[in-house]
């Protein structure tokens, strides 16, 4: 992974990945919120044309009086629904005690008579500390498979309708449900168990299941418990996947057909109810409980029962993908590995590394929404959040690494490279740029003419001051053209262009720097004289060629330098400047590469250079 440079970002990202994998085991609420978002952004479509709600609403209470009504009046409402041709009538109401009205006995009898003549289902509930339920289940249960013991433990008792009503009804179903820790009602249990002290175990269907059974005229229910993710409940012709034993509700935005009880009592029947499973419920403020659903809406319990029945009738369910939890861990693990590899191998190409990280972060939502469109659930929130944290940790590590590299480059090369070159090195692969390689460069040497005589005739402090003045000018002009200072050679400066980063027109840049240094030194001699310092005269030599450039030296000392024919050539040309009286001379390769006008000066035999060499000077 490219050595020590990447240790910190990869290590930080790896730690974040491990933390995310550990946290996934305990963030079930975030997982459920992710499932909620599916339904919020892409609400499911469940046909509600086979269910309806008859609501004892505000208008009904205003016409008939406050709740509870005499049971005979509720019986009349049941008869009106039955006359309308309802396939089943579920009363989402509890009748645990006799009618308290003055004519309570007769009222209960009339109500029981109405229930007996209709395909009716009464509500009950179970609780751990309730007395045993006196009524018997209407639905018979058969359990198939090795996992039937899942329902071997039950509640100690419950609250059921009084015996005359329970006996008259066609079905009894449990209306109890449990909201998740955040208060949202996302699923309802379909099968309940009751284990009263000293009594045999009994099973009860959920209210929605019992309404569907009665509507289909079935006597019993079958539960398959294979223990391999294929558990299911059969209600007549409907096969209902059990999943974790609950039916996950599809929170459809639409509402079932709603008819006011007052209007139905007045008309005696409503053809719109024909063939439907009808839920009778109180829908008035303060009299019934509203439930917070997956999409964040408050809905009447009757709506949830109607939706559950509609899901079973249409066969539309939300089921977790097989081995969903394993798949979620795999998504996080593989995505994190890709991000780690991107941090390792694309560290010098942050845009590509960021794209790789974004692709991994986006993969879980894409997979999740695709699965949801096919009725399967897999969590995207935890893998995506985990991958985001992995990318964030790795990105922070890369940032810290880049800052360290920038500071190191500034410390090591600020004296020899222009700020612009240092910045460009910090943004690229500095190690590769500073490695030794053969590349074309242009070399310049600038030297003070007669410096040896000057040191003999002037005091050391004035000589050094004049030398520093010259070096400051040379540095400024070289850096102004993004040149690289190789070294100081006493009173000379050796510099080159086109390394460590590539530069277009490097021959012209070197020539411009040479001319600028010569002209500026002559121009500022007046300043030296004003300070009591000697005047200076400088010459410069420039040549282009392929040289070996990079970090060279030993374990104790390393310099970024260049060696090759062009370096040797400028040393010889600098001597020719003094002999020919030319302030700037260029070798043949530099003259050929430059775009500025050049004039031939002479052809000379240079020491250490094979054959005669043609010398050039910039045309001024």
- Taken in order of first residue, the domains within the chain and their CATH numbers are 3-37+321-410 (no CATH), 46-138+151-217+249-315 (no CATH), 414-618 (3.30.70.1230)
CA of 208: how far to CAs of 169, 176, 290, in Å?
A: 15, 11, 17
572 in helix, strand or coil? Answer: helix
Residue 582 has pLDDT above 90, yes or no: yes
CA 190 distance to own-chain centroid: 35
Instruction: Tell me the pLDDT tens digit for each residue of 253-288.
Output: 999 999 999 999 999 999 999 999 999 999 987 777
pTM: 0.67
Residue 156 has pLDDT above 70, yes or no: yes
Q: Which residues contact 476 (CB under 8 A, 6 or more apart)?
A: none
In contact, 19 and 12? CB cutoff 8 Å: no
Rg (C-alpha) for the chain, rounded Å, is 45
570 in helix, strand or coil? Answer: helix
19-23, 224-228, 388-392, 461-465: least confident range: 19-23
In contact, 368 and 34? CB cutoff 8 Å: yes
Which pLDDT does position 58 carry in this prediction? 92
Instruction: Tell me the pLDDT tens digit for each residue of 333-350.
Output: 888 888 777 777 776 777
Please give the structure tokens belonging to residue 433.
């740029």
Residue 527 has pLDDT above 60, yes or no: yes
Which pLDDT does position 275 carry in this prediction? 96
Beta strands of 503-557 (E only): which ranges?
538-553
Please give the structure tokens belonging to residue 96.
């645990």
517 in helix, strand or coil? Answer: helix
Residue 567 has pLDDT above 50, yes or no: yes
Strands 184-185 and 290-293: parallel
DSSP 412-438: HHTTTB-HHHHHHHHHS-HHHHTS-EE
Which pLDDT does position 354 carry in this prediction? 83
Total length of the chain = 620
Q: How far apart are CA 125 and CA 213, in angstroms?
A: 18
Phi, psi of 345 (to 5 degrees): -105, -10
194 in helix, strand or coil? Answer: strand
Burial of 58 (0-12, 13-18, 19+ CB in 10 A): middle
Instruction: Considering only residues 220 and 8, tell me which one the structure prediction assigns the higher pLDDT.
Output: 220
CA of 134: how far to CAs of 106, 130, 248, in Å?
A: 22, 12, 30
């Amino acid at each position: 992974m490219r050595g020590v440079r990447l240790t910190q970002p990869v290590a930080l990202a790896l730690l974040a990945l491990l933390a995310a994998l550990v946290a996934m085991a305990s963030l079930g609420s975030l997982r459920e919120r992710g499932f909620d978002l599916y339904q919020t952004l892409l609400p499911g479509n469940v046909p509600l044309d086979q269910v309806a709600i008859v609501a004892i609403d505000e208008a009904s209470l205003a016409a008939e009086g406050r709740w509870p009504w005499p049971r005979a009046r509720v019986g009349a409402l049941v008869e009106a629904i039955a006359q309308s041709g309802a396939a089943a009538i579920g009363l989402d109401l509890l009748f645990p005690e006799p009618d308290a009205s003055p004519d309570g006995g007769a009222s209960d009898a009339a109500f029981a008579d109405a229930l007996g003549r209709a395909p009716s289902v009464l509500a009950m509930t179970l609780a751990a500390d309730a007395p045993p339920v006196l009524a018997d289940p209407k639905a018979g249960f058969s359990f198939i498979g090795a996992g039937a013991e899942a329902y071997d433990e039950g509640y100690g008792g419950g609250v059921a309708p009084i015996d005359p009503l329970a006996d008259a009804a066609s079905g009894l179903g449990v209306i109890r449900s449990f909201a998740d820790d955040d208060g949202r009602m996302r699923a309802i249990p379909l099968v309940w168990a009751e284990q009263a002290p000293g009594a045999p175990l009994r099973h009860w269907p959920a209210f929605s299941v019992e309404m569907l059974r009665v509507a289909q005229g079935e006597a019993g229910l079958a539960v398959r418990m294979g223990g391999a993710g294929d558990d299911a409940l059969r209600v007549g012709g409907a096969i209902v996947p059990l999943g974790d034993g609950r039916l996950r509700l599809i929170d459809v935005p639409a509402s079932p057909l709603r008819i006011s009880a007052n209007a139905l009592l007045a008309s005696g029947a409503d053809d719109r109810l024909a063939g439907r499973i009808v839920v009778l419920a109180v829908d008035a403020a303060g009299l019934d409980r509203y439930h917070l659903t997956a999409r964040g809406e408050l809905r009447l319990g009757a709506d949830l029962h109607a939706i559950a029945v509609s899901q079973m009738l249409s066969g539309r369910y939300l089921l977790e993908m097989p081995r969903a939890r394993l798949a979620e861990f795999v998504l996080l693990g593989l995505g994190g590995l890709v991000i780690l590899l991107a941090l390792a191998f694309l560290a010098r190409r942050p845009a590509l590394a960021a794209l790789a990280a974004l692709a991994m972060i986006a993969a879980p939502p894409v997979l999740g929404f695709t699965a949801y469109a096919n009725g399967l659930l897999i969590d995207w929130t935890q893998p995506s959040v985990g991958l985001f944290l992995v990318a964030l940790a790795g990105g922070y590590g890369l940032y810290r690494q880049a800052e360290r590299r920038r500071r190191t480059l500034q410390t090591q090369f600020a004296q020899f490279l222009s700020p612009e070159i240092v910045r460009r090195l910090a943004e690229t692969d500095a190690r590769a740029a500073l490695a030794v390689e053969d590349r074309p460069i242009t070399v310049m040497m600038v030297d003070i003419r007669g410096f040896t005589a000057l040191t003999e005739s002037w005091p050391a402090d004035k000589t050094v001051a004049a030398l520093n003045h010259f070096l400051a000018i040379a540095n400024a002009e070289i850096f102004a053209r993004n040149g690289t200072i190789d070294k100081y050679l006493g009173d000379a400066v050796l510099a080159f262009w086109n390394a460590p980063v590539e530069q277009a027109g490097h021959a012209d840049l070197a020539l411009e720097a040479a001319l600028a240094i010569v002209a500026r030194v002559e121009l500022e001699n007046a300043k030296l004289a004003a300070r009591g310092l000697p005047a200076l005269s400088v010459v410069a030599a420039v040549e282009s060629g392929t040289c070996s450039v990079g970090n060279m030296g030993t374990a104790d000392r390393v310099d970024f330098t260049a060696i090759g024919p062009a370096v040797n050539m400028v040393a010889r040309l600098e001597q020719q400047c003094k002999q020919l009286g030319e302030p700037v001379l260029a070798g043949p390769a530099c003259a050929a590469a430059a775009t500025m006008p050049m004039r031939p000066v002479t052809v000379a035999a240079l020491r250490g250079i094979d054959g005669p060499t043609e010398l050039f000077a910039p045309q001024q």
